A and B are shown apart, each in its own frame.
Chain A
Amino acid sequence: MEIFLQQLVNGLSLGAIYALIALGYTLVYGVLRFINFAHGDVLMIGSYAGFYIALELSQQLGATISYQIAFLMLMGSMLVCAGIGVLIELLAYRPLRNHPKLTVLITSIGVSLLLSYGGQILFGAQPRPFPELIHASQLHITKNLTISSSHLIVLLVTAVILLALRFIVMKTRFGMAVRALSMNPQAASLMGVNPNAVISWTFALGSALAGAAGILYSMTIQSIEPLMGTMPGIKAFIAAVLGGIGSIPGAALGGVLMGLVETFVGGSSFSSYRDAIAFGLLILILLLKPAGLLGKAQAEKV
């Protein structure tokens, strides 16, 4: 029972990270109807941004363990990623706005490769330890159940971000514009929504989420390396599809489910098949319920 609870905590923590990344996928899909495969690598940029910001701030302020530095690092990283996201959209996707979706998809794969291998040249391929800005402590509930500070931080930060996102999407004009654009782009622009501006801001938002996810992920795995974004990116994409691509609650649900499945399989005797089962899940969902758990099947008007 205790092992189950421990794996539950591990799984929720990992799932929260996947949920953040999946939300980025879903937001972009909602407004542009395409999967931004470069999203996982924006996560990597976020981690490195956080790493360098923390380094700089630690040197400036002379402290190595500090909540303020951690908070600033998170904000700084989200900002950098938002900027990168807007830049990518402007340079790589906007010129292809009226081209077939397949073209943009291939471009996004190209951007992903550019980011990861460019990162390898820029940052060096060696994995680096992620700085410990918050003193790692454990809460030993019982002998076999330990909740570590990183678990708590991940769950807390994700909860705050999800609430903020819900507020933005449901209660602000910008959120209304995003929802309108995702429902019907032509009607939305007729109603006065500026598609270019909303799309740029959506990319900024989604990428900021990836940045936050990057920081949390680096904190969990304790290291950063240029190719670190690929796998979480793919798994979060599966999570977004699982929950229903285009649906925000779906992305969150899919992320959590993905994290739980991965953790429980990883701790069982099938641990080598962890990734295989994760990808198998994607195939299963696409066969049984292609719209995802919370998605609505959209009929294409011919």
Chain B
Amino acid sequence: MKRYITVITLALLAIAFGGCKKAASLLPPNEIKVGEFTSLTGVNATFGQSANNGTQIALQEINAAGGVLGKNLNIIVDDTQSKAGETSTIVHKLISQDHVVALLGEIASVRSLEAAPIAQENKIPMISPASTNEKVTQAGDYIFRICFIDSFQGKVMSKFARSIGVKHVAILTDTSKDYSVGLTDSFKKDFTANGGLIVSEQSYSGGDKDFGPQLTAIKAQNPEAIFLPDYYTEAPLIMRQARQLGIDVPFMGTDGWDSPELLTVGGNAVEGSYFSNHFSQENASPNVQRFVKNYKDKYGSAPDGIAALGYDSVYILADAIKRAGSTDPVKLRDAIAGTQNFDGVTGKITLDANRNPMKSAVVIRVQDHSFRYLETIDP
């Protein structure tokens, strides 16, 4: 009996594995499959949902205009749930089961860093729409991004701080996020090199809820502003607790603040603070306004920077496929690397030798419970 069971099991396994090999060659010839992995649920859900909204609009527009190389573009979307381990699982799945020709994702740098080695090893080009930590594209030559990097973003806020006459700054860093640590480093370097003084540096870990101790220590050093490079999940809480402790200097943040949640959770505590971003819906350029209008019509709300980047990432990929004339990984990779002066809604994008774009940033000010465009800072 035991022998029969063994034989049958082995036979079934052989069929299963044999079947797998067969599926690999049965690719549908009339569509181009791209994988999008993003945080649709979980703590950073607004990032993923915004980015996905942007990619869906781009997808619709591209397919309505005839697709790419005459074929329909198909974006397979998978949810990382804002969790670390989940990202590698779904990237593996997109590559080995769905056989995508390229990957779009992730938003959070820590999850892009998790996915990049996998994409690099399998030689599938990966474009991150919004991960700003430098290490992401250092993972290999198949990894690209279309947003500015943190070494630039830190300088942007440092430049801005100095332009409004701030000389004493305190910094609050989330040591569990590569994003936050990277930005703190680049801000500190630029600010101190230009005569500014960091009066206090405090840190916390993502998921911490009580920031009283750190804020108290910062308050005692009398900063003129507090640099807070973090996401919209912790930033408004920190600002509310700060106001409760009687700290009323402005906070300066970065593109991780870009979410309507910052305003709903932060309320009055966020008023008068600033942050750097990729995009402002007040930009008068025609293709930005068209994108804003289409987004509002479809989703009922205005797009944020992440949505705009999601939108641009699909268009850049489509443009690269057209220039490569095929979806062959090597040709596609080279075509993406050769992106020059691409006119996106987040600015003119030219990828440099490190596969990062040279782009301007905008500074947004929180005023009257909305994000108001303040100025553009060029590289």
Query: Which residues of A are at the interface with B, using a C-beta cutoff of 8 A?
Result: 2-3, 6-7, 10-11, 13-14, 125-129, 132, 136, 138, 140, 144, 146, 148, 150, 217, 220-223, 228, 231, 262-268, 271-272, 274-275
Shortest CB-to-CB span from A201 to chain B, Å, is: 31
Cβ contact within 8 Å between B42 and A125: yes
Q: Is B56 an interface position by the 8 A CB rule?
A: no
In the complex, the answer to whether B205 meets A275 with C-beta atoms within 8 Å is yes
Contact A263 B212 (CB under 8 A): yes
| Interface presence of B16 (CB below 8 A) | no
Chain A residues with Cβ under 8 A from B265's Cβ? 127-129, 222-223
Report the bound CA distance from A148 to B244 in whole Å.
6
What's the Cα separation between A265 and B175 when bound, in Å? 16
Q: Contact string, B197-220, partner A, CB cutoff 8 A, digits 1/0?
A: 000001111011110111011011
B293 part of interface (Cβ distance < 8 Å): no
A13 to B210, CA, bound (A): 11
Q: Does B241 belong to the interface (CB within 8 Å)?
A: yes
* Size of B's binding interface in residues, CB under 8 A: 36
The answer to whether A126 touches B209, judged by C-beta atoms less than 8 angstroms apart, is no
Residues in A with CB closer than 8 Å to B220 are: 2-3, 6, 144
Pick the contact of A14 from B45, B210, B217, B219 — CB < 8 Å? B210
Contact (Cβ within 8 A) B202 A127? no
Is the CB–CB distance between A150 and B42 below 8 Å? no
| Other A-B pairs, 14, CB within 8 Å; known A129-B240, A275-B205 | A10-B212, A14-B212, A146-B246, A220-B212, A222-B237, A222-B241, A223-B209, A223-B237, A231-B207, A266-B210, A266-B214, A267-B217, A271-B214, A272-B204
CA distance A275 to B204 in the complex (A): 10
Query: Bound state CA distance, A194 and B265, in angstroms?
Result: 48
Q: How far is the CB of B216 from chain A (nearest CB, A)?
A: 5
Chain B residues within an 8 Å CB radius of A132 = 267
Complex CA–CA separation, A263 to B217 (angstroms): 10
| A10, B216: Cα distance in complex, Å | 9
- Assess the B213–A140 pair: CB atoms within 8 A: no
Q: List 25 A-B contacts (CB under 8 A).
A: A3-B217, A6-B216, A6-B219, A6-B220, A13-B212, A14-B212, A125-B82, A127-B233, A127-B237, A129-B264, A129-B267, A132-B267, A138-B245, A146-B245, A220-B210, A222-B241, A222-B265, A223-B209, A223-B265, A263-B212, A263-B213, A266-B210, A271-B203, A271-B204, A274-B208
Consensus secondary structure, chain A interface:
helix
CA–CA, A275 to B236, complex, Å? 22
Q: How far is the CB of A102 from chain B (nearest CB, A)?
A: 29
Q: Which residue of A lies closest to B209 (CB)?
A: A221
B240 in contact with A222 (CB, 8 Å):
yes
Q: Is the CB of A148 within 8 A of B245?
A: yes
- Asked whether, in the complex, the Cβ of B264 is within 8 Å of the Cβ of A271, the reply is no
- Kindly report which residue of chain A lies nearest to residue B266, judged by CB atoms: A129
Assuming the A-B contacts A146-B246, A271-B203, are A264 and B213 also in contact, with contact meaning beta carbons closer than 8 angstroms in the complex? Answer: yes
B240 proximity list for chain A (CB < 8 A): 129, 222
Residue with the greatest number of chain A CB neighbours at <10 A, chosen from B42, B203, B205, B246: B246
B43 CB contact (under 8 Å) in A127, A128, A140, A262: A127
B209 and A266 contact, CB distance less than 8 A? no
Query: In the assembled complex, which residues on chain A have CB atoms less than 8 Å from the CB atom of B45?
Result: 125-126
CA–CA, A10 to B208, complex, Å?
15
- Asked if B343 is at the interface (CB within 8 A of a chain A CB), the reply is no
Residues of B contacting A271 in the complex (Cβ-Cβ under 8 angstroms): 202-204, 213-214, 217
